[in-house]
Structure 1
Amino acid sequence: MTTHISLKQLNVFNSITQHKTLTLAAEKLFLSKAAVSMALAELEKQLGHPLFDRVNNRLILNQEGKILLPLADELLSRADYINDLFEQDQALNGQLKLGSSNTIGNHISPYLLSDFREQQQHFSQSLYISNSTIICQKLLDFELDLALIEGENHHSDLISIPFSHDEMCIISSKNHPLTKLKKIKTSDLENTEWLLRELGSGSRECFINTLAPELKRWHLSFELNTTEALINSVSAGLGLGCLSKLAAKYAIEAGRVSLLKTPIEMPRTFYLVIHKNKYRSPLIKSFMLFCEKWQQ
Structure 2
Amino acid sequence: MLRTSLRQIEVFVATAQKGNVTQAAALVGITQSAASMALAEFENQLATRLFDRIGKRLALNEDGRALYPKAVEMVERAREMEGLFRQPGGAVDLRLGASSTIGNYLLPQILGSFRANRPGCRIELEVGNTQQVINAILHFEIDVGFVEGPCLHPDIEAGFWRPDELAICAAPGHPIAQPGGAGIEVLRAADWILRERGSGTREVVDQMLMSQLGGIRVMMELGGTEAIKRAVESGMGISCLPKIALVGAVERGNLVSIPTPYLQLTRAFHILVHKDKYRTGGMSSLIRLCQSMAAQNSTM
TM-score > 0.5, shorter chain as reference: yes
Matched, 1:241 2:250: no
- The residue number in structure 2 matching 1:281 is 280
- The residue number in structure 1 matching 2:298 is none
Alpha-carbon offset, residue 183 of structure 1: 5.6
Stretch of structure 1 that moved more, 160-169 or 46-55: 46-55
Alpha-carbon offset, residue 276 of structure 1: 0.8
2: CA distance, partners of 1:258 / 1:115: 32
What SS is found at the alignment partner of 2:257? strand
Matched, 1:10 2:12: no
Judging changes above 3 Å, is the alpha-carbon distance between structure 1 residues 22 and 191 closer, same or farther for their aligned structure 2 residues?
Answer: farther
Alignment length (residue pairs): 294
TM-score between both structures, scaled by the size of structure 1:
0.91
Matched, 1:193 2:154: no
Amino acid at match of 2:221: E
2: CA distance, partners of 1:190 / 1:211: 9
What SS is found at the alignment partner of 2:44? helix
The superposition leaves residues 37-90 of structure 1 with CA deviations (integer Å, 9 ceiling, x where unpaired) of 33222222222222222234222222222211111111111111111113x141
Amino acid at match of 2:254: R
- The residue number in structure 2 matching 1:52 is 51
Matched, 1:256 2:265: no
The superposition leaves residues 200-256 of structure 1 with CA deviations (integer Å, 9 ceiling, x where unpaired) of 211111111111233344332222112111110111222211211111211121122
1: CA distance, partners of 2:24 / 2:241: 38
- The residue number in structure 2 matching 1:267 is 266
What SS is found at the alignment partner of 2:33? helix
Contact kept in structure 1, 2:188 and 2:217, CA below 8 Å: no
Contact kept in structure 2, 1:97 and 1:145, CA below 8 Å: yes
Correspondent of 1:156 among 154, 157, 161: 154
Alpha-carbon offset, residue 122 of structure 1: 6.0
Matched, 1:143 2:141: yes
Alpha-carbon offset, residue 96 of structure 1: 1.9
What SS is found at the alignment partner of 1:295? helix
2: CA distance, partners of 1:112 / 1:267: 22
Judging changes above 3 Å, is the alpha-carbon distance between structure 1 residues 168 and 31 closer, same or farther for their aligned structure 2 residues?
Answer: same
Judging changes above 3 Å, is the alpha-carbon distance between structure 1 residues 213 and 54 closer, same or farther for their aligned structure 2 residues?
Answer: farther
Judging changes above 3 Å, is the alpha-carbon distance between structure 1 residues 59 and 193 closer, same or farther for their aligned structure 2 residues?
Answer: farther
Contact kept in structure 2, 1:116 and 1:122, CA below 8 Å: no
Alpha-carbon offset, residue 105 of structure 1: 0.8
Contact kept in structure 2, 1:3 and 1:46, CA below 8 Å: no
Contact kept in structure 2, 1:51 and 1:61, CA below 8 Å: yes
Amino acid at match of 2:162: S
Amino acid at match of 1:42: E
Q: Gapped runs of 5+ residues in structure 2?
A: 296-300
Alpha-carbon offset, residue 184 of structure 1: 2.3
Stretch of structure 1 that moved more, 88-97 or 144-153: 88-97
1: CA distance, partners of 2:166 / 2:175: 21
Alpha-carbon offset, residue 158 of structure 1: 0.8
Judging changes above 3 Å, is the alpha-carbon distance between structure 1 residues 23 and 123 closer, same or farther for their aligned structure 2 residues?
Answer: closer
Where does 1:1-296 land on structure 2 (aligned, <5 Å)? 4-86=3-85, 88-119=86-117, 123-182=121-180, 184-262=182-260, 263-296=262-295
Alpha-carbon offset, residue 9 of structure 1: 1.7
Alpha-carbon offset, residue 93 of structure 1: 2.4
Alpha-carbon offset, residue 91 of structure 1: 1.8
Judging changes above 3 Å, is the alpha-carbon distance between structure 1 residues 259 and 74 closer, same or farther for their aligned structure 2 residues?
Answer: same
4+ long deviations beyond 4 Å:
119-122
What SS is found at the alignment partner of 1:155? coil
Judging changes above 3 Å, is the alpha-carbon distance between structure 1 residues 62 and 181 closer, same or farther for their aligned structure 2 residues?
Answer: farther
Stretch of structure 1 that moved more, 209-218 or 222-231: 209-218
2: CA distance, partners of 1:119 / 1:29: 28
Q: How large is the Cα RMSD of the aligned pairs? A: 2.0
Amino acid at match of 1:272: I
Alpha-carbon offset, residue 291 of structure 1: 2.0
Judging changes above 3 Å, is the alpha-carbon distance between structure 1 residues 257 and 279 closer, same or farther for their aligned structure 2 residues?
Answer: same
Amino acid at match of 2:37: M
